[in-house]
Structure 1
Amino acid sequence: MSPLFRDFSLSSVTSGLLSAFVGFSSSFAVIVQGLTAVGASPAQASSGLMMAAVAMGLAGIVLSLRHKMPLSVAWTTPGAAFLATLQAPEGGFAVTVGAFMLAAALCILAGLWRPLGRLAESIPMTLANAMLAGILLPLCLAPFRAMGLLPEIALPIFLAWAIMARINRLLAVPAAVVVAATLVASGLEPGAFAPEQLWSGPVFVMPQLTLAAVVGIALPMFVLTMASQNVAGIAVLKSFGYTPKAGPLISFTGLAALLSAPFGSPGVNMAAITAALCAGPEAHPDPDRRYWAAIVAGIGYIVMGLGAALAVALMAVAPPAVIAAVAGLALMGALTGSLTASIAQPEAREASVITVLITASGLSFFGIGAAFWGLIAGAALYAWDTRKLRRAATAEAAE
């Protein structure tokens, strides 16, 4: 028996399947909501969801086989949440796709050219988390707005999430998704879905690019992907004793994102939360055999991605408030983590709060969205405040 198949185990299969199920069901609504907000048609949103799942599945399989480590890959949930706060740019979804490709190209360059990687990593984590918190805050209010509009649907969804979170937090959002799908499906008339709605293949979009999309979409997505996903994903792997070279992994996932972007995929990157399911001891007591969990997870993502049209079709017939509620619940954990991290540094708290507020406000100048301006304003205050502190420390040392 070859070493590859000798390392295979039942525990890696169960951990990998759980990782794929949690990763897909917990955030596919965010992906579709984000793509729809920036101008994707139902067919394009289905294509984007499918290609993102296939890209992260294939990338995880290739990386895990090559390095013999559980290198899980995920789609950019923070990036999709950011997209959900925007409006379709002038020029439509083709301009958004161009921004996806530029953000992916920057990730490739960040992995290959260390100065750009260092520049991305030099953004204070407090500000990066504050920007993410500002993006997530309006989305996480949606479940409670939905309770006022559709209490008979939104309240059971919230209760399913809240109760399951106390039992097994990983399954909280999947439980909410199951309840939402059941309630929506129970209200459908027979024949609500046409056969052609249940399957659709990839849809190619000829990319375009504008300056406003570069600054307002591509650059924030690059920052979110690097700070909220890639850096966190590498940190999770290190916490389990794996020490892969970050640069090649970031470049490879960037390449997967670049190749899938013309089909509507918002991007893929190193996984963080689901990475722990594949890299932990539950996957296998022997760390050298856990890579099979990431391989199985990759296969699971591909299979579920091929059913993307069904997920999009169900979302299309659901009340928008219900979809927003499910997406908001899926982002609750990320909001909690980003808010906590944004105020962890006492001297940067005011800059972080300003970043959160401006980003959450939705303001726009010159066609550039609030996330960019929030980060710029926060960075200016952060530089000012930390410079004052350094001067005071220097003066005190001189005395």
Structure 2
Amino acid sequence: MRIVAPQKHHWSISSLKSIPADVSVSAIIVGLIATMVSYAGPLLIVFQAAKGAGLSDGLLSSWIWAISIGSGLTAIILSIWFKTPVITAWSTPGAVLLVSSLTVYSYADAIGAYIFSAVVITLLGVSGLFSTLMKYVPQSITTAMLAGILLSFGVEVFVSMQHLPALALPMIFCYLFAKRWSPRYAVVLTLLVGLVVAFGLGRLHLEGVHIALVNPIFTMPSFSLDAIIGLGIPLCIVTMASQNAPGIGVLKADGYDTPASPLVATTGLASLLLAPFGAHGINLAAITAAICTGKEAHPDHTKRYISGIACGAFYLVFGMFGVTIASVFSAMPKELIAVIAGLALFASLSSSLAQAMTEPRDRESALVTFLVTISGISIGGIGAAFWGLIAGVITNLILNGDVRKWFVKKGVSQASSER
């Protein structure tokens, strides 16, 4: 099946020429914050998985390089292509899966499983099947799911106030005052204040930072049926359910009607090409995407795509230094990362909650979605966001019988248009 993007999304020279005029400091800083959030938490899981598997520093550096380069290139390409802040990242639930799985299978077999997963995801994107399935989910449910995902980040802002009030309080007050008098630069100013205060408190440990370029290592894959079944299939499922589905939900919640098929296909192809260098999976981001799709990036939603390009560019720069980047974020207090991430997500969290409850007939299904998502349950290695989505759809079908006909009609119409 051939993928055809709407005419306005076609790659053109004119789309490249408009980039300099659309660049803004706020979008670049928001892109930097999104990249910081990606490295500050999920990368530690990659370290844990590599340590458990006994991988060498060289293989670990290559792994970080591969997922960074893959995330960077896909974010830049897709953001320019669709003029939308399309943020990509590596599969965090996939990395969690690898903490135990890499101790069971050889590294070459794991690479083979990565390739299998990437091929399946690419086919799901190219065929348009994933895009069709996403049409079965009402917007109230996707926004409720997003609100559930973001809630913990908002709460962490005030939890950090208890752990390190001398840092958290100045950042919070800076954000509030800037939000009133200079809302466009609220996040930028808050980040600067956070860094200055952290330095004054002696909480920036820059002496442990060592700079060194990565030497990517190619690993010849081997294909084991056990690894494909035990690692490849679960990796594919958790990436699609826990990353790509919420990622599409984030874009929809902020009013971007970007076709899902080319996004999934592109990330799947990037995963396939970079798997031999250690990339376990490149996919659409959810948390970091919400940072870049909100008003903090730019008041004009048509210019927020710059934050996606900036995020991708920072991925590329940081990825070239592999393990070095982890030491940079380890030098910062975790409270600084938590507060700036939470504050940057305030707008997305509030708008998601509001949109989820807009339609009276959908409020109960949206509430179920929200509650299941924040519950943190994990079944079969698949996270709460996916099960919140499923619970919301089932609730909606039970409470609103006619929604099913609407879904089927819309799904068939979408499938026909993509053909």
TM-score, normalisation: structure 1: 0.69
Which of 185, 198, 210 is equivalent to 1:195?
210
Residues 1-399 of structure 1: matches in 2 within 5 Å? 8=17, 12=20, 15=23, 19-37=27-45, 39=48, 51=66, 54-59=69-74, 70=83, 73-76=86-89, 90-91=100-101, 108-186=122-200, 187=202, 192-196=207-211, 200=214, 209=231, 215-216=237-238, 218-229=240-251, 236=256, 247-248=261-262, 250-260=264-274, 262-263=278-279, 266-268=282-284, 273=292, 302-303=316-317, 305-306=319-320, 311-387=325-401
Q: CA deviation at 1:176?
A: 3.0
CA distance in 1, matches of 2:253, 2:103: 29
Q: Say whether the 8 Å CA contact 1:22–1:274 is kept in structure 2.
A: no
Deviations 1:146-193 (A, max 9, x none): 111110111122223333333444533333333333333441588722
CA distance in 2, matches of 1:75, 1:189: 28
Flag the 1:350–1:60 CA change in 2: closer, same or farther, 3 A.
closer
CA distance in 1, matches of 2:215, 2:113: 22
CA distance in 2, matches of 1:107, 1:59: 15
Flag the 1:99–1:8 CA change in 2: closer, same or farther, 3 A.
same
Greater displacement, 119-128 / 161-170: 161-170
Deviations 1:196-236 (A, max 9, x none): 5x65566889897276655555422121123323x568x54
The AA in structure 2 aligned to 1:74 is I
Structure 2's unaligned 5+ residue stretches are 1-11, 52-56, 222-226, 406-419
Flag the 1:185–1:94 CA change in 2: closer, same or farther, 3 A.
farther
The AA in structure 2 aligned to 1:225 is G
Q: Say whether the 8 Å CA contact 2:71–2:282 is kept in structure 1.
A: no
CA distance in 2, matches of 1:51, 1:387: 47
CA distance in 2, matches of 1:136, 1:203: 36
CA distance in 1, matches of 2:114, 2:358: 31
- SS of 2:87's partner is strand
- SS of 2:378's partner is coil
Question: How many equivalent pairs are there?
Answer: 368
CA distance in 1, matches of 2:174, 2:114: 34
- SS of 1:363's partner is coil
Determine what percentage of the aligned residue pairs are the same residue. 27
CA distance in 2, matches of 1:263, 1:24: 22
Q: CA deviation at 1:35?
A: 3.6
Q: Say whether the 8 Å CA contact 1:103–1:219 is kept in structure 2.
A: no
Structure 1's unaligned 5+ residue stretches are 239-243, 284-289, 392-399
- SS of 2:44's partner is helix
The AA in structure 1 aligned to 2:247 is T
CA distance in 2, matches of 1:83, 1:173: 30
Flag the 1:34–1:99 CA change in 2: closer, same or farther, 3 A.
farther
Q: CA deviation at 1:341?
A: 2.3
Q: Say whether the 8 Å CA contact 1:36–1:45 is kept in structure 2.
A: no
Q: Say whether the 8 Å CA contact 1:129–1:341 is kept in structure 2.
A: yes
CA distance in 1, matches of 2:16, 2:381: 53
- SS of 1:313's partner is helix
Deviations 1:353-388 (A, max 9, x none): 122112212233455433333223222211100117
CA distance in 2, matches of 1:149, 1:295: 34
Q: Say whether the 8 Å CA contact 1:50–1:306 is kept in structure 2.
A: yes
CA distance in 1, matches of 2:104, 2:347: 32
Q: CA deviation at 1:16?
A: 6.6
CA distance in 2, matches of 1:267, 1:390: 29
Q: Say whether the 8 Å CA contact 2:130–2:260 is kept in structure 1.
A: no
Q: CA deviation at 1:324?
A: 2.5
Q: Say whether the 8 Å CA contact 2:369–2:391 is kept in structure 1.
A: yes
Counterpart in 2 of 1:395? none
Q: CA deviation at 1:313?
A: 1.9
Q: CA deviation at 1:350?
A: 1.2
